Copies of this chain bind each other. A is one copy, B any other.
Amino acid sequence: MSVNPITPTISLTEAGKRHGFLRLPYSRNDSAWGSIMLPLTVVVGGAGPTALYTGGNHGDEYEGPIALQHLAAELRPEDISGRVIIVPYMNYPAFRAGTRVSPVDGMNLNRSFPGRPDGTATQKIADYFQNVLVPMADLVLDYHSGGKTLDFLPFACAHELDDPAHHAACIAAMEAFGAPYSLRLREIDNVGMYDSAVEAQGRLFVTTELGGGGTATAKSVAIARRGALNLLRHIKILPGEVEPAPSVTLSMPGDDCYHFAGAEGLFEPVRDMGDQVEKGDLIARIWPSDRTGAAPAEQHAQRSGLIAARHFPGLIQMGDCLAVIAERGA
């Protein structure tokens, strides 16, 4: 059987704080003996659990990478009980390119689990998390935002799990994070997700969507940073109480929460993020991109609720997710 060629340049277990890399040999036209170098910080304090914090699973989402750079800079081993493993740019080639999927192999890391040790670069990264890092972790926090093409209300998220105790623990961790919204997300296309891979190993798992459009704001970064510390406090790696923050509970209980564009063209949102809409309300128009004087396609709300996500770019393709309407309450 193949062995994953990724090696850390620093110890994952020694006490103290170290900054280094996960080195993945990567032979290519412009470097025969090149490597992909995923930045990595490991902070090891006294006895305690291990938290694995990741950002950049998709390369165009920025709250996680920024919060994790802060955490890597600021967390002190003497302050913690346990270990924190920080990988701010998980799909590093995608992060450097500013793209959702890897420019190296065109793959979406979050649909590549469990990965392959002898596969493409993205598959090797997935395999390394699957078989090396996640097994070390008690808690995994994976930051997401909408990226360049989606926008989200800022929420932390837990998935539905079969084991009630596991489920309750994940819900509690999500609540500890303290995002303005707390959501149970049903994924549109769920094969190969990191989320499922972590949950299947019985770990606590929290994910987020903290904004979107391929940017971050001072406000969204503050949410991400507070959540990082809150979770460490929640599992007792950091001392002290979780900093409380009000959070609106949301759910997306049915397929009809998801609205897909029925035409391609110029996208006009008629209702904005966070607006309450009623079933049947006009929520968007799509104007032809090749002429004037023709009526726009109209998109109406399939159910009542809050606009919790929307398509971001000004042009839209048929079948793009145009908006997601969430219900208040679980």
- Could you tell me the distance in whole angstroms from the C-beta of A5 to the nearest C-beta in chain B? 5
Residue of B nearest to A264 (CB): B290
A217 contacts across to B, CB distance below 8 A: 269, 272-273
A295 contacts across to B, CB distance below 8 A: 73
Q: A227 at interface (Cβ–Cβ under 8 A)?
A: no
CA distance A123 to B36 in the complex (A): 24
Residue of B nearest to A27 (CB): B108
A60, B314: Cβ atoms closer than 8 Å: yes
CA distance A291 to B111 in the complex (A): 25
- Could you tell me the distance in whole angstroms from the C-beta of A70 to the nearest C-beta in chain B? 8
B260, A23: Cβ atoms closer than 8 Å: yes
Q: A276 at interface (Cβ–Cβ under 8 A)?
A: no
CA distance A270 to B147 in the complex (A): 20
B213, A5: Cβ atoms closer than 8 Å: no
CA distance A117 to B192 in the complex (A): 12
CA distance A21 to B317 in the complex (A): 14
Q: A86 at interface (Cβ–Cβ under 8 A)?
A: yes
A21 contacts across to B, CB distance below 8 A: 291, 318-319
Q: With A214-B312, A214-B313, A314-B98 in contact, do A150 and B33 touch (Cβ < 8 Å)?
A: yes
Q: With A32-B147, A312-B213, A320-B33 in contact, do A293 and B260 touch (Cβ < 8 Å)?
A: no
A318, B218: Cβ atoms closer than 8 Å: no
Residues of A within 8 A of B (CB): 2, 5, 19, 21, 23, 25-37, 39-41, 58, 60-62, 65-66, 68-69, 72-73, 86, 88-89, 95-96, 98-101, 105-106, 108, 111, 117-118, 146-151, 188-189, 191-192, 213-219, 221, 260, 264, 266-273, 275, 287, 289-296, 311-315, 317-321
The 3 closest A-B pairs by CB, nearest first: A35-B319, A19-B293, A62-B314
